[in-house]
Structure 1
Amino acid sequence: MPPTDSLVTGTADSEDTLDLQLPADFLALRVTGEPGAGQDTGAAQNAGVGAVQNAEAAQGVEAVQDSSPVWGTVLPLLGGDLLDQVAEWGPTTTAAGEFQLRPVRLDRDLPLISQWMNDPAVAAFWELAGPADVTEAHLAAQLTGDGRSVPCLGVLDGTPMSYWELYRADLDPLARHYPARPHDTGLHLLLGDVADRGRGVGSILLRAVADLVLDRRPACTRVVAEPDVRNVPSLAAFLNAGFRFSAEVDLPGKRAALMLRDRSLRSLL
């Protein structure tokens, strides 16, 4: 549950994580199946990701302390994430223009994201103001992690204009605070340009990204967000984007509104 809100909000607290129980065949792949001479790397990737998906379907998820580096090493090795390859989702057409999520690359994107984090309106919630290495540490924790959280730039008509975090809410500490379902997908949003705030762009993009998640992640039945209850503009943006208010939950550092966009209701809201 890294940020505390989803339009201009967040915290850098990501100290605790949930994890999956790894099946024995997946651990065997970790030990003996690393790509080498004569091995089909693509087959190894497919086998590993398939094992993860099968394990989730058969066992669900378990809230445990992260006591092993296995996920942090296996998922990068397999070239995957736990969000069905966000990098391959492609663009989508919205009322604001053509939009695409582009996974963050530190060497290319850090200066811009750090600049946004130093906007006082953003810093009040994300708490990442200061030198670029503050933002770098926040991004690196996700980029070198196990793939359960993917930081992205939102690119509108070719121009980077927003920062997003897509994450597996069912594998996040957030899951301890609501009845999570397997593959629940959470999101956070920061609109970088002040000119894009307060004129409906946030709602348009929230709906577009939620629909992308539901289209590209067949196992996901709902998209989750947890904006601060005091952030009325953010709550309105989510409601306008087809999310529904589910409950108020007490999270570390804030009282949040649990917002859900359901696959079953997407054509009605």
Structure 2
Amino acid sequence: MSHPAIRPGGVPGRASAEDIARWAPAGTPAGEFRLVPVRPAADLPLIAAWMNDPVVDAFWQLAGPRERTAAHLAAQLGGDGDSVPCLGLLDGTPMSYWEVYRADLDPLAAHYAARPHDTGLHLLIGPARYRGRGLGTALLRATAGLVLAHRPHCPRVVAEPDVRNAASVAAFRAAGFRLAREIELPDKRAALMLRERRPRRPFTRP
């Protein structure tokens, strides 16, 4: 599947497709990883197939006809949170779906002390053969690094996996995120995970 580059010209501080399309690939232990903004018409069949995997649907809850996934993508592209749905390519092969969004502009901001330009991540690994190999940790570490490298105003990368998804929470922890606290969202109880640009220094008494 070919994903042509999008012309540069994104607005600084916004999660624009043009911005993300210019990001260089990141090296991981599993190969070269790249984020590519979704082309809804071309990529819908693949993403809808992933959403219909019972393991994915347990937390995304988007199983069903392609129209349901299409509506979700349209909401990402047209929402207030500057969200960019992306495919994650490992050595050129699409194998994950991501949403990169301005957490401080998203409804999530009502549930935690958001800072200007906080950037949020959602992730699913599509093909089953890529799961259970530690790839989630490697990809999260790489993607958080890309966000912080290319978005200088972003102080933190934010995520809110379902607390029942122990594997996801563990992957975020291993990728350098810390569990800030649990929060109640409209559709789930979530683990608020933060990866700061500058890790907190441990408190020491004088």
Question: Which structure exhibits the higher relative contact order, with contacts defined as CA atoms closer than 8 Å and separated by 6 or more residues?
Answer: 1
Query: Which 10-residue stretch deviates more, 136-145 or 235-244?
Result: 136-145
* Superposition TM-score, scaled by structure 1 size: 0.68
Contact 2:85-2:97 within 8 A present in 1 as well: yes
Corresponding residue pairs, total = 193
Higher Cα radius of gyration: 1
Q: Where does the alignment leave 5 or more consecutive residues of structure 1 unmatched?
A: 1-41, 54-79
State the alpha-carbon separation in 2 of the partners of residues 176 and 141 from structure 1.
19
Contact map agreement 1:143 1:151 (CA 8 A) in 2: yes
| Partner in structure 2 of residue 160 of structure 1 | 94
Three-state SS of the structure 1 residue aligned to 2:120 is strand
Quote the offset at 1:144 in angstroms. Answer: 3.8
How many Å apart are 1:94 and its aligned residue?
Answer: 1.0
Q: Is the aligned partner of 1:179 residue 2:101?
A: no
Match of 1:112 among 46, 61, 65: 46
Identity of aligned residues (%): 66
Higher share in helix: 1
Paired residues of 2:15 and 2:102 also in contact (CA < 8 A) = no
Equivalence for 1:121: 55
> Does the CA contact (< 8 Å) of 1:116 and 1:122 recur in 2?
yes
Equivalent residue for 2:162? 228
Q: Which has the higher strand share?
A: 2
Measured in 2, the distance between the counterparts of 1:196 and 1:207 equals 16
Q: Which residue of 1 aligns with 2:146?
A: 212
What is the CA RMSD across the aligned residues, in angstroms?
A: 2.1
What letter matches 2:101 in structure 1? Y
Contact 2:163 2:189 (C-alpha < 8 Å) held by counterparts: yes
**Conserved? CA contact 2:81–2:103, under 8 Å:** no
* Cα contact 1:82–1:147 (8 A) shared by 2: no
Query: How does the TM-score come out when normalised to structure 2?
Result: 0.87
Q: Distance in 2 between matches of 1:109 and 1:99?
A: 18
Corresponding residue of 2:187: 253
Residues 46-86 of structure 1: per-residue CA shift (max 9 Å, x gap): 8xx47xx6xxxxxxxxxxxxxxxxxxxxxxxxxx7558811
- Could you list the runs of 5+ residues in structure 2 that have no partner in the other structure? 1-7, 201-206
- Deviation track 1:103-128 (CA, whole Å, cap 9, x = no partner) reads 00012111000000000111121111
- Residue 142 of structure 1, CA deviation: 2.1
